[in-house]
Structure 1
Amino acid sequence: MILRKVHVYLYIVSVALGYLILWPFFYYFSRSPERYRTLNSFRRLWGLVSSAFVGIFYRFEYEQPIDWSKPYIICPNHSSNLDISAMCILVKSNCCFMGKQELENGLVTGLFFRTVDIPVNRDSKMSSFRAFKKASEKLQEGVSLIIFPEGGISDNYPPQLCPFKNGPFRLAIELKIPIIPVSSANTWQILWDTGTKHGSRPGFCKFKVHKPVETAHLTVDNADALRDEVFEIINNHLKQGEVTTTYGSQFSGTMQQTGNL
């Protein structure tokens, strides 16, 4: 446990140091939407190098090749802060995250959520409406949207796959945008949540990139069915993984209680 605690603080230092070194580039390229693609390239570099510096690497297995010339809504399960770096590395095109409004005031995340990314207050219908309106505009401009459909990281350790919110699936249907489910069964073993409670360790974070789920033939009445389909794709992969006995599902009997975001 001591070594894991030391390792997570080394990771935090690596992330902070990388941010300080790249901050002039982040700031410059965040000043104009026309520069956001380059901003994302530097963010991708930052995530890759800061993780590799402490021996954390990302491995992606593709169910089929992805044509990154088209926009997608990427929906990964969420058990670790490393998921954010992983998605920056995965998406090879211009992209943005949608996340909780608190990230707008974060020391590291603030610059991105005040510019390229989309903050949302899930307790406010007006904030949710504005956030999804902005997401819609970005998707129509060809920018892919990364959103964690669980709405956050499970408080349980080991983590459990939480019910999905409806918002991204309604949006995908309305704009006829394919959804890419992404599964990771072991990232929490490398670093769970922020890592401050259980520490972290070197290793490979393994991600399964599923084939895109098409939405062109669906109507908004199919949003719940689409949500359930994407949930089952990810959940089934987690059940087949090495941590089947510890990364279970809380889906049954609770999905109907989720909100509309």
Structure 2
Amino acid sequence: MKMILKKLHVYLYAFSVAFSYLLLFPFFYFFSRKPSRYKYMNALRRVWGIVSSFCLGILYVFEIEQPIDWSRTYIICPNHTSNLDITAMSIFVKTNDCCFMGKQELADFFVTALFFRTVDVPVDRQSKIASFRAFKKVMERLESGVTTIIFPEATIPDNYPPQLKDFKNGPFRMAIELKLPIIPVTSLNTWEILWDDGLKYGSKPGVCNIFVHKPIETAHLTIDDADALRDEVHAIISQKLEEHDHRRTNS
């Protein structure tokens, strides 16, 4: 019975996301027509994420290690265990000059296609040329002051419960080349609310706890430090996940 209820919940959540998207689509479409309007598209995406989740009892709580100066440009690197991580980042980022970098398939998915054909940047990792073009486009966005969210695992882990995967080098090389700070973000339990897309184990109401680590400055680094920076961010997120798992096990 519990699994039946969780499966029902995930279908209701999907309906909430799709229905609210359709209601807002005329506005999303209008804002998507010109790059100068993308900031309004992002602002509305934040509202969409809050409302579509709240309707099914899903909330987001952010613990921020150090206040974020949103007048600066950042590369934000969260771990990735759930589709809810995307919503969480949409809500967390308080500048409307932002974008996601994500897999090419999102440019064809019903509720993400419009975004990944306009404000966001899709990347086809199966093609070196396409990947190069995507990263070049992101570099241009960053240089123009657009904060970018990149999931450095590049995908949601296949194993359940999910284990942190190795990180790709791309966001760390870009951060060093452009001398931009990186913000590591640990999604502590979104997978417990909804793992991956929720189709296998369903979903449930609950609070998604997100820990935002203090920014890591890169101005003093060289491109030779990219691997070390990648490993540092991986270790920060991994340690936070271990601390959370330890508290949960002993509570």
Given that residues 55 and 202 in structure 1 are in contact (C-alpha distance below 8 angstroms), is that contact kept between their aligned partners in structure 2? yes
Match of 2:155 among 145, 152, 155: 152
Instruction: Name the residue aligned to 1:253.
Output: none
Q: Deviations over 1:132-170 (max 9, x none)?
A: 111111111111000100010000010010000000000
| Deviation of the 1:55 alpha carbon | 0.2
Q: For residues 184 and 246 of structure 2, what CA distance do their matches in structure 1 show? A: 19
Question: Are residues 1:185 and 2:214 paired?
Answer: no
Instruction: Name the residue aligned to 2:51.
Output: 49
SS of structure 1 residue aligned to 2:203: coil
Given that residues 150 and 162 in structure 1 are in contact (C-alpha distance below 8 angstroms), is that contact kept between their aligned partners in structure 2? yes
Q: For residues 5 and 130 of structure 2, what CA distance do their matches in structure 1 show? A: 42
Given that residues 186 and 243 in structure 1 are in contact (C-alpha distance below 8 angstroms), is that contact kept between their aligned partners in structure 2? no
Unaligned runs of 5+ residues in structure 1 are 247-261
| Deviation of the 1:244 alpha carbon | 7.3
| Deviation of the 1:184 alpha carbon | 1.4
Q: Deviations over 1:100-138 (max 9, x none)?
A: 111111111110000000011111111111111111111
Instruction: Name the residue aligned to 1:67.
Output: 69
- Correspondence 1:224-239 to 2 at 5 A: 224-239=227-242
| Deviation of the 1:243 alpha carbon | 6.2
Given that residues 79 and 188 in structure 1 are in contact (C-alpha distance below 8 angstroms), is that contact kept between their aligned partners in structure 2? yes
Q: Deviations over 1:167-207 (max 9, x none)?
A: 00000000001000000121100000000110000000000
Q: For residues 243 and 37 of structure 1, what CA distance do their matches in structure 2 show? A: 40
SS of structure 2 residue aligned to 1:161: coil
Paired letter, 1:140: E
Question: Are residues 1:202 and 2:217 paired?
Answer: no
SS of structure 2 residue aligned to 1:241: helix
The two structures, once aligned, show a CA RMSD in angstroms of 1.2
Instruction: Name the residue aligned to 2:168.
Output: 165
Structure number with the higher helix fraction is 2
Q: For residues 171 and 38 of structure 1, what CA distance do their matches in structure 2 show? A: 26
Q: For residues 245 and 57 of structure 1, what CA distance do their matches in structure 2 show? A: 19
Task: Calculate percent identity across the aligned residue pairs.
Answer: 67
- Correspondence 1:1-261 to 2 at 5 A: 1-93=3-95, 94-242=97-245
Q: For residues 209 and 185 of structure 1, what CA distance do their matches in structure 2 show? A: 10
Q: TM-score, normalised by structure 2?
A: 0.96
Q: TM-score, normalised by structure 1?
A: 0.92
Q: For residues 106 and 244 of structure 1, what CA distance do their matches in structure 2 show? A: 37
Q: For residues 94 and 198 of structure 2, what CA distance do their matches in structure 1 show? A: 27
Q: 1:125 to 1:228 in 2, by over 3 A?
A: same
Find runs of 4+ consecutive structure 1 residues off by over 2 angstroms. Answer: 242-246
| Deviation of the 1:242 alpha carbon | 3.4
